[in-house]
Chain A
Amino acid sequence: MSLWPLLGIAVLVIGFAAGINPLAVIVLTALTTGIAAGLSPLHIISALGKAYNDSRYVSIIWLVLPVIGLLEREGLQERARVLIARVRAATVGRVLIAYMLLRQITTALGLTSLCGQAQTVRPLIAPMAEAAAEVKLGGISERVRYLIRAYAASADNVGAFFGEDIFIAVSSILLIKGFLQQSGFDIPPLRLSLWAIPTAVMAFAIHGVRLWRLDMRLERLAREKSP
């Protein structure tokens, strides 16, 4: 087997690092990799087209955009802010830790599509976290607002990634089971799920501490702004 196809990975890393539009980087990488592996450009374009078409189902989630847009037009984000402003104990860190815990528990029960970046973070969680910061710290700068939003998205990802493997019927568990079976080990999915728990606890602890410290960082940023 030749090592030349790895040239594509170099193109990929350099392209992303140089800040070229990712779509262009991907097409260039695909061409480089394919040609290095001895495929004809026509063959590569066909393979790209076929796989792109076959994976259209991942884009179903975009159907949600008109609904979210419509609700935002009717004041969804503003209402989420009003609600959170009433809860005195709410801080950015606490709101996001609570959400991460909810996300991790629900995905561990197999309810992966209960929450998500489009369904909950954009319309509800990010506005709630921003509102908590506004109530606690007074006005917040654009930079701080973007920082809070990025952490809201990260809470969803960490919760989902390290919760879903505790559920036995999730695709990653089935992949592990299938692959180990091919290699001659017959392992019940429940054992795989159980051994996912220690990492899940550590993920919650590490990201939880970081979210908790985010509160202190935001307070420090606010103090620096208005001495």
Chain B
Amino acid sequence: MFAAIAVRSVRDRANRKRFGNAAFWGLLALSFLFGSKLGDFANGILVIALMALGAGAMGLGSPKTTSVAEREERAKAKGNAVFVPALFIPVIAIAGTLTLGRVTIGGVPLADPKQVTLIALALGIIVALIAALLRFRPPALAPVEEGRRLCDAIGWAIILPQMLAALGAVFAISGVGGAVGRIATTWLPLGHPAAAVAAYCIGMALFTMVMGNAFAAFPVMTAAIGVPLIVHRFGGDPAIMGAVGMLSGFCGTLATPMAANYNIVPAALLELPDRNGVIWAQIPTAVPLLLCNTVLMYILVFRF
């Protein structure tokens, strides 16, 4: 798919930066097709090339699509049939998630059990695409052109989630987590149960904002503050601490550009001029929710 978009991009003379776009989508196609065959270092160089192209060499292409008037006309003519392929995606994704993991051929599972949800989702998308092609009979290039329209709109943000996962790996081998945990325990006054709970919840949120992911923050904060102080020293309940602590981290996820999947990619998908638009809409929810969560943990954790 990305390879086809790259080819169409080279030919799009309306875009001044067409070679930048083509190179970016082309490298992305290379990564998806052959990424496992390239060595780690070659992949690293690929990442840096994608970064350089993404940071400055891309523009908006002008793929062929339909005008607003044409769309309104078609919406009237075809009625609700246009929703049908869109509904295939979730229905097949769920059916696949529930069944694919159990299907075995000669004792070998048909799908890797860990990836069942993603495989089912991809299957749903492919069926939906076929259904849409059969139902509407668009020109042969239309799926590529429409895909390119949306990909160009998202632009470099398309690889941001993967880049952040890569950064997380570098953080892990560099020992960033341990360093943050040490700062939290040496510099904060944690002599009182309320202080320990507050440090744990707010620390989860802040550390999640930095890492972009509550899953990375949870083991560090829980090992540094949660288990030794809240549970062992003050006698709190580990289940409540874990559940509410993780959700405190999710408050941080609402407020950080590092959680690209949830905050930056939607802004790009919805073509917002401000990449942080979604975050601004969420911060006034995240802050009071974090405070409520901290109070909630303090009330509950020592009681059960």
Contacts and interface: CB of A to CB of B under 8 A. Distances in A.
Interface of A: 1-3, 5-6, 8-9, 12-13, 16, 21-24, 26-27, 29-30, 33-34, 36-37, 39, 42, 44-79, 82-83, 111-115, 117-119, 121-124, 126, 146-147, 149-154, 156-158, 161-162, 165, 171-172, 175-177, 179-180, 183, 185, 187, 191-196, 198-199, 202-203, 206-207, 210
Interface string B263-281: 1111101101110011011
A2 B165 CA distance: 23
Given A3-B182, A52-B47, A53-B31, A71 B82 contact: yes
19 contacts: A2-B179, A6-B183, A33-B170, A45-B44, A49-B45, A52-B163, A66-B129, A67-B128, A69-B145, A70-B132, A74-B66, A76-B86, A77-B71, A114-B94, A117-B269, A146-B272, A177-B242, A199-B292, A202-B296
A59 B41 CA distance: 21
A195 B118 contact: no
Nearest to B157: A22
The CB with the most chain B CB atoms within 10 A, among A67, A68, A122, A185, is that of A67
Given A26-B51, A113-B90, 18 more contacts: A5-B176, A13-B210, A23-B54, A23-B55, A27-B51, A36-B174, A49-B44, A50-B43, A67-B89, A73-B146, A74-B136, A146-B277, A150-B270, A165-B247, A175-B246, A183-B222, A192-B239, A195-B240
B270 A122 contact: yes
Contacts of A57: 115, 118
The CB with the most chain B CB atoms within 10 A, among A50, A70, A126, A161, is that of A70
A113 B94 contact: yes
Contact of A195 (B122, B133, B173, B244): B244
Interface in B241-293: 242-244, 246-247, 250, 253-254, 257-258, 260-267, 269-270, 272-274, 277-278, 280-282, 284-285, 288-289, 292-293
The CB with the most chain B CB atoms within 10 A, among A1, A44, A74, A123, is that of A74
B8 interface: no
B169 A50 contact: yes
A190 B141 CA distance: 50
Nearest to B176: A5
Contacts of A72: 71, 146
A48 to B, nearest CB: 5
A65 to B, nearest CB: 4
Contact of B43 (A23, A53, A199): A53
Given A5-B174, A47-B40, A78-B71, A119 B166 contact: no
A78 B75 contact: yes
Interface of B: 1, 31-32, 35-36, 38-48, 50-51, 54-56, 65-66, 68, 71-76, 78-80, 82-83, 85-86, 89-90, 93-94, 97, 115, 117-118, 120-122, 125-126, 128-129, 132-133, 136, 138, 142-147, 149-151, 156-171, 173-176, 178-180, 182-183, 210, 214-215, 218-219, 222-223, 227, 231, 238-240, 242-244, 246-247, 250, 253-254, 257-258, 260-267, 269-270, 272-274, 277-278, 280-282, 284-285, 288-289, 292-293, 296, 300
B143 A70 contact: yes
Contacts of B175: 1-2, 5, 37
B138 A51 contact: no
Nearest to B132: A70
Nearest to B259: A157
Contact of A73 (B66, B264, B274, B285): B66
Contacts of B238: 180, 183, 185, 187
A49 B174 contact: no
